[in-house]
Amino acid sequence: MAEHGKGPLSGYRVVELTTAWAGPYAGQVLAHLGAESIRIESVNRLCVTRTIVPFAEGQRHYDRAGYFCEYNQGKRSVQLNLARPEAVELVKRLVAMSDAVIENFAAGVVERWGLGYEELKKVKPDIVMVSMSGHGRTGPLRNYVSYGPYLVALSGFATLTGYRGWEHPMHVGMSYPDPNGGWHGAFAVMAGLYYRKCTGRGQYVDLSQWEAAIALLGDAILGYLMNGHQPPRLGNRDPVMAPHGFFRCAPARDGELPEGLLPEDRWISIACGSDEEWQALCRVMGRPELARDPRFATREARKANEDELERIVEEWTLTQDPFEATRRLQEAGVAAYPALNNKEVAEDPHLNARRFFTEKEHPVVGVRKHTGIPWRMSATPCEVWRAAPVLGQDNDYVFRQLLGLSPDDIEELKRKEVIL
């Protein structure tokens, strides 16, 4: 019996024809739920996440890539060169013994390989298949090339997000439509599996990652229709709360920072949703008289005098360490947290106390810290059972144990570059 993940999808098998971030993110969510997620890979079509930084100790190699290892935990990797018909037949045999297929290639790609839904349902009539292309499988733009950052521009995020007064469109800091598309793809798989459980019927889902990104901006669309313009860029301000923003803190001391950081680049987020929270902030700042100041006494007044309000708050934060200030503010009942960088996330005492991170042995890079499963389930606890695979780590398992090929068959397929 093979080892596999734990969780409510334990015993389910998913075939991943995925690339880049969105598809692999969806596959990892399903693996986190306990599914055996098998990723089809090949050296002649390496995932971009195996080819860009960071690499362990900076040594460039597809099995040392941190990006790949972050988003393929708990999955299996099998090498198949889909340019060869024999490889396509093997994928079909694997699909015939699986529950779901996810793919995030441009529209038409899996069909060209002969792995479209119409073909796959012939070998597995109740398969749940989710295509998660950039623009969906229908419509005039269906063949356009898409990446997460491209969808930041196309969805409206780039014009809605931004510092006040800047005209320049903004990236949102990461390729947000990718993990968002991944979540929506995983949700579609789960809904399909639930429906299958209830009715015995499989189905095909056409997910548009572009539309999944617009689904996060419904208020802005309605706002445009109501008023003829979309909401203005607020920077870090909130339509209702004040103060609400990032405030600069005291500079870091010498030797406190990793290379490349600026000592004065330290920030705390503070938000007051009620008068009580504002009064608590005044006490912590040592300015109790401000709580009675009519310029700031009510939410409406604080919004009306927000420039001055922010100046006063920052005057205080500039003297504060962001972590210590967070502790004092939270004790007093004020929502605050430092703007953590990746190192600080990795070292966050709360996340570590929750055992959020995974540290599994990887055959090439050893034990590395990765982000873990962002939920806890009381009856079906989930756990990452192993690190991300090296390329083709599960060739043997898939070809011999699952598909029943002989060592001679496997050698022959390698020689013919079907297994590549």
Partner 1 sequence: MAKALEGLRVLECGRMAAAAYAAKLLADLGATVIKVEEPQGDIARRYGPFPGGEPHPEKSALFLYLNCNKKGITLDLRQPEGQALLQRLVAWADVLVHNYPPPEMAARGLDYEALARANPRLVMASISPFGHEGPHRDYRGYDINVMAAGGWAWLNGWPGHPEEPPLKAYGPQTEYQAGIAAAVALLGALLHREETGQGQHIEVSGQEVVATELEFVFPFWPYERRVPVRWGQRIIAPWDYFRCQDGWAFVICVEEHQWERLVELMGDPEWAHWEIFSDRTRRAQNYDVLRPLLEEWFAQWRVDDLYKAAQAKRIPLAPAYDAAGLLESQHLREREFFVSLDHPVAGTYRYPGSPYHGFSETPAEVREPAPTLGQHNQEVYGGILGLSQEEIAALRQRAVI
Instruction: Tell which positions 59-118 bind partner 1, by CB under 8 A.
Output: 64, 66-67, 69-70, 117
- CA-closest candidate to residue 95, choices 36, 11, 13: 13
And the tokens for 147? 């990446």
Q: Any contact of residue 273 with partner 1 (CB under 8 A)?
A: yes
Q: Any contact of residue 305 with partner 1 (CB under 8 A)?
A: no
| Rounded (10°) angle between helices 177-199 and 148-155 | 90
Q: Which of 6, 86, 89, 224 binds partner 1 (CB under 8 A)?
A: 224
Q: Any contact of residue 48 with partner 1 (CB under 8 A)?
A: yes
| 3-22 footprint of partner 1 as x/- string (CB under 8 A) | ----xxx-----------x-
N-to-C CA span, the chain: 26
Q: Any contact of residue 206 with partner 1 (CB under 8 A)?
A: yes
Tokens 């398969």 belong to: 127
Residue 416 CB, shortest distance to partner 1, in Å, is 27
Q: Any contact of residue 36 with partner 1 (CB under 8 A)?
A: no
Q: Which is nearer to partner 1, 203 or 305 (CB)?
A: 203
- CA-closest candidate to residue 211, choices 142, 263, 159: 142
Residue 101 CB, shortest distance to partner 1, in Å, is 14
Residue 102 CB, shortest distance to partner 1, in Å, is 12
Active site residue 348: no
- Binders of partner 1 among residues 350 to 379 (CB under 8 A) are 350-351, 353-354, 356, 365, 368-379
Q: Any contact of residue 52 with partner 1 (CB under 8 A)?
A: yes
Q: Any contact of residue 251 with partner 1 (CB under 8 A)?
A: no
Query: Any idea how long the chain is?
Result: 420
Cα separation of 38 and 66, whole Å?
19
* Secondary structure (DSSP) of 196-220: HHHHS--EEEEEEHHHHHHTT-HHH
Number of chain residues interacting with partner 1 (CB under 8 A): 163
Q: Which of 15, 22, 33, 420 binds partner 1 (CB under 8 A)?
A: 33
Helices of type H across 228-305: 275-284, 299-304
Cβ neighbours for 292, distance < 8 A, ≥ 6 positions apart: none
Q: Which of 140, 165, 286, 404 binds partner 1 (CB under 8 A)?
A: 140
Q: Which of 349, 404, 408, 415 binds partner 1 (CB under 8 A)?
A: 349
Q: Which is nearer to partner 1, 9 or 17 (CB)?
A: 9
| Rounded (10°) angle between helices 177-199 and 22-32 | 50
Cα separation of 169 and 307, whole Å?
24
Q: Which of 165, 255, 258, 294 binds partner 1 (CB under 8 A)?
A: 258
- Binders of partner 1 among residues 160 to 189 (CB under 8 A) are 160-163, 168-176, 178-180, 183-184, 186-188
- Conformational region of residue 59, where left means phi above 0, alpha means psi within -120 to 50, and beta covers everything else: beta
Tokens 């040392």 belong to: 64
Tokens 């990723």 belong to: 39
Q: Which is nearer to partner 1, 78 or 152 (CB)?
A: 152
Q: Any contact of residue 304 with partner 1 (CB under 8 A)?
A: no
Phi, psi of 270 (to 5 degrees): -135, 135
- Binders of partner 1 among residues 376 to 395 (CB under 8 A) are 376-380
Residue 320 CB, shortest distance to partner 1, in Å, is 15
The catalytic position among 63, 99, 126, 178 is 178
Cα separation of 189 and 199, whole Å?
15
Cα separation of 157 and 76, whole Å?
34
Residue 408 CB, shortest distance to partner 1, in Å, is 37
Q: What is the set of active-site residues?
A: 178
